[in-house]
Amino acid sequence: MAVYTDVAADDLTRFLSGYEIGDLLSYKGIAEGVENSNFLVHTTAGNYILTLYEKRVAEGDLPFFLGLMEHLHARGITCPQPVQNKQGGMLGKIAGRPAALVTFLDGMWMRRPSAGNCAAVGEALAALHLGGADFKMKRPNALSVESWRPLYQQAKDGCDKVHSGLSDSIAAELDHLERAWPRALPQGVIHADLFPDNVFFLGDKLSGLIDFYFACTDTLVYDVAVCLNAWCFEVDHSYNVTKGRALLKAYAKGRALSAAEREALPLLARGAALRFLLTRLVDWLAVPAGALVKPKDPIEYFRKLRFHQSVKSASDYGFSA
């Protein structure tokens, strides 16, 4: 939640002269986005977001992310549209970092999403999966099941200081998921990080999806599992079946889930919970005690994992028969 790289006004003016978006009037670093540095850029032509890609984003993946946003935008998904420079490219360089400009989306993200918000997200997620179906580029999910054991190794020694018994619980869960992980379900473009802060609303209406920097080619229903984790739990970590039902029903209206996909949902939800538990754990352990900027609490996802382990079938998530 910080700006990692600052940009000087004359460097930005020079950068913008490569685009046809008018004259620079102001820019502010924005305290959003955990991986990259983002600036809200105001020009005589309007508002834009300038993103500087920091170390954690592989430069080779940028054409996938930017191409995907352009592809989805062209198919009617409201998401930031990369702005082409005068040469027709979408990627530039500023302050030593790869950088891109995208259009600014109005809207607010919901700190306390309602069941109606969850339905809107389910609908948008199905539209994203359908809209991405003819996207030609591929990108493997760098944070899928194969990556979890190395993340666990990184966090292992510090685990039990965060929560007693956590290390053994993760080890057991990993063994189970690596054995049982489904490989034959329908694949496609997934967002993979569609948390509330990546979904904008104007009033009750969803006004846009942002932050495609974890998007990849993976099991579509895994994306649904990520959303159940991100949208359908209360602050006390209890699952809200009304929200789950709203999300799943709205998704199924756009894209029906097969029997195999439904059946796999509890396992995929466990996997999604473990994925966020592990990355948060690694971030948590990397930051010294007392630091001003605290990473997100990993234990929230341990609680969610516990819930998913207790689930007997997909109907526990709110699927109507």
Q: Which residues bind its own copies (CB under 8 A)?
A: 1-3, 6, 8-10, 12, 24-32, 40, 42, 47, 104-112, 200-202, 287-293
Measured distance CA(60)–CA(250) in Å, rounded: 35
Spatial neighbors of 90 by CB under 8 A, at least 6 apart, are 63, 66, 67, 70, 82, 83, 84, 100
* Whole-angstrom Cα Rg for the chain: 20
**Nearest approach, Cβ of 162 to its own copies (angstroms)?**
17
Distances in whole angstroms, Cα of residue 205 to Cα of each of 32, 124, 199, 201, 219:
22, 11, 11, 5, 27
Query: Considering beta carbons, is residue 6 or 157 the nearer one to its own copies?
Result: 6
**Nearest approach, Cβ of 155 to its own copies (angstroms)?**
17
**Nearest approach, Cβ of 79 to its own copies (angstroms)?**
15
Query: Considering beta carbons, is residue 4 or 319 the nearer one to its own copies?
Result: 4
Tokens at 144, concatenated: 């899928």
**Nearest approach, Cβ of 140 to its own copies (angstroms)?**
29
Query: Considering beta carbons, is residue 44 or 87 the nearer one to its own copies?
Result: 44
**Nearest approach, Cβ of 175 to its own copies (angstroms)?**
33
- The dihedrals phi and psi of 218, each to the nearest 5 degrees, come to -160, 180
Tell me which residue of 123, 103, 9, 86 sits closest to 51, measured CA to CA. 103
Query: Considering beta carbons, is residue 196 or 271 the nearer one to its own copies?
Result: 196
**Nearest approach, Cβ of 31 to its own copies (angstroms)?**
4
DSSP string, 64-110: HHHHHHHHHHHTT-----BPP-TTS-S-EEETTEEEEEEE----EE-
The answer to whether 216 and 190 are in contact (CB under 8 A) is yes
Spatial neighbors of 5 by CB under 8 A, at least 6 apart, are 37, 52, 54, 95, 96, 97
* DSSP conformational letter for 196: G
The answer to whether 239 and 246 are in contact (CB under 8 A) is no
Query: Considering beta carbons, is residue 39 or 251 the nearer one to its own copies?
Result: 39
Measured distance CA(2)–CA(19) in Å, rounded: 26
Query: Considering beta carbons, is residue 40 or 185 the nearer one to its own copies?
Result: 40
Query: Considering beta carbons, is residue 109 or 319 the nearer one to its own copies?
Result: 109
Query: Considering beta carbons, is residue 13 or 242 the nearer one to its own copies?
Result: 13
**Nearest approach, Cβ of 238 to its own copies (angstroms)?**
20
**Nearest approach, Cβ of 164 to its own copies (angstroms)?**
24
CA–chain centroid gap for 241, Å, is 22
Measured distance CA(247)–CA(30) in Å, rounded: 30
**Nearest approach, Cβ of 200 to its own copies (angstroms)?**
7
Query: Considering beta carbons, is residue 21 or 273 the nearer one to its own copies?
Result: 21
Place of tokens 């027709």: 88
